[in-house]
């Protein structure tokens, strides 16, 4: 008897958990009707800043069947990155997701193993794996797959886990049993909106990247505008403020992925060490890290801006 979609789904989910993913959900590939007008308006308002690549492949971004021909299902996975050890509080802060090795590489390796499992145990299945590197709206698909809801800060939130995790997808030409979406559990809470020092969250689920500290320290290629003086809250790469204040993140538990463990020299560096960092130290401390995305010059720009403008 030919296995049913549910049996395939159960197989894939069990293997995803074995590989270390914290959860796995499935949705039917199709057009993202709810997200289409929101994305169009966000782009028209220029809220994407210098990220011009967000304007490309609009149709593919909203329909995986265009991105991956004959696709029928989207498998979404979450991988915890919440660290047990934190860096010095007086040091310029690095977003927790960048403490260890670059998540793109770590998750892609796991998805490659998951794909090999599918080929071996289910049969020849065509598809592609994605980790924040193609026109795929990962939060929308994870929401559809029942892995969480979109918080007011625009990030995915999960009961019992919070939001300190990465999202990855596999878009497959395989019929699987889809999961049901969950409900919103933010209620009247506005802590993320209230805590943002640059007022980047201009409405629930609506972020103006031009004001976001993560954007300013990573995506922005020009100089950080002086209008953000004394608003950066000591962040040198990324920002976790809206996540740190979220009540749901009190449920965050330390990850168990060795590749996400921070180097001891990173944890021990104080403010003076950071402000005097050399190219060699930068390359050593952030070897295989997402922080290298800014390059040494971009990281120095961020540190200089903090040193010049912040009073903290």
Taking the C-alpha atoms of residue 32 and residue 42, their distance in angstroms, rounded to an integer, is 15
Count the residues in the chain: 312
First-last CA distance in the chain: 67
Cβ atoms of 74 and 245 within 8 Å: the answer is: no
Distance (Å, whole) CA 168 – CA 227: 35
What is the token pair recorded at 11?
A: 């197989």
> Which of 90, 102, 109, 132 is labelled catalytic?
132
Q: Three-class SS of residue 50?
A: coil
Task: Tell me if 111 sits within 8 A of 170, measured CB to CB.
Answer: yes
Check if 310 is active-site.
no
Looking at the DSSP assignment, which residues form a beta bridge with residue 129? 170
DSSP β-ladder status, 127-130 and 156-157 = unpaired
Residue 114, helix vs strand vs coil: helix
From residue 249, alpha-carbon distances to 74, 151, 158, 193, 209 in Å are 26, 12, 9, 15, 23
Helix-helix angle 103-121:5-18, to 10 degrees:
140
CB 162 within 8 A of CB 243: yes
Asked if 135 and 61 count as a contact pair (C-beta separation under 8 A), the reply is yes
Active site residue ranges: 132
């Amino acid at each position: 008897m030919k296995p049913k979609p549910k049996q395939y789904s159960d197989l894939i989910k069990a293997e995803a958990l074995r590989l270390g993913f914290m959860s796995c959900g499935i949705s039917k590939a199709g057009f993202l009707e709810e997200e289409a007008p929101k994305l169009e308006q966000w782009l028209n308002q220029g809220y994407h800043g210098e990220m011009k690549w967000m304007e490309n492949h609009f149709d593919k971004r909203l329909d995986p069947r265009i991105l991956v021909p004959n696709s029928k299902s989207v498998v979404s996975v979450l991988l915890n990155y919440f660290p047990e050890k934190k860096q010095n509080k007086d040091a310029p802060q690095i977003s927790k997701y960048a403490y260890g090795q670059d998540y793109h590489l770590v998750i892609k390796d796991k998805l490659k193993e998951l794909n090999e499992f599918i080929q071996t145990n289910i049969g020849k299945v065509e598809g592609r794996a994605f980790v924040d590197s193609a026109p795929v709206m990962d939060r929308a698909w994870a929401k559809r797959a029942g892995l969480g809801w979109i918080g007011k800060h625009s990030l995915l939130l999960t009961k019992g886990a919070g939001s300190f995790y990465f999202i990855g997808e596999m878009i497959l030409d395989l019929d699987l049993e889809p999961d049901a979406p969950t409900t919103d559990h933010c209620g009247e809470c506005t802590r993320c909106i209230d805590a943002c020092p640059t007022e980047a969250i201009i409405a629930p689920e609506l972020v103006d990247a031009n004001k976001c500290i993560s954007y300013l320290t990573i995506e922005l290629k020009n100089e950080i505008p002086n209008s953000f003086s004394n608003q950066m809250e000591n962040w040198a790469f990324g920002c976790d403020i809206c996540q740190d204040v979220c009540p749901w993140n009190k449920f965050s538990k330390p990850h168990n992925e060795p590749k996400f463990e921070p180097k001891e020299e990173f944890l021990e560096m104080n403010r003076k060490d950071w402000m005097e960092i050399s190219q060699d130290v930068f390359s050593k401390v952030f070897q295989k890290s997402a922080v290298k995305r800014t390059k040494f010059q971009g990281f120095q720009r961020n540190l200089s801006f903090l040193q010049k403008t912040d009073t903290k």
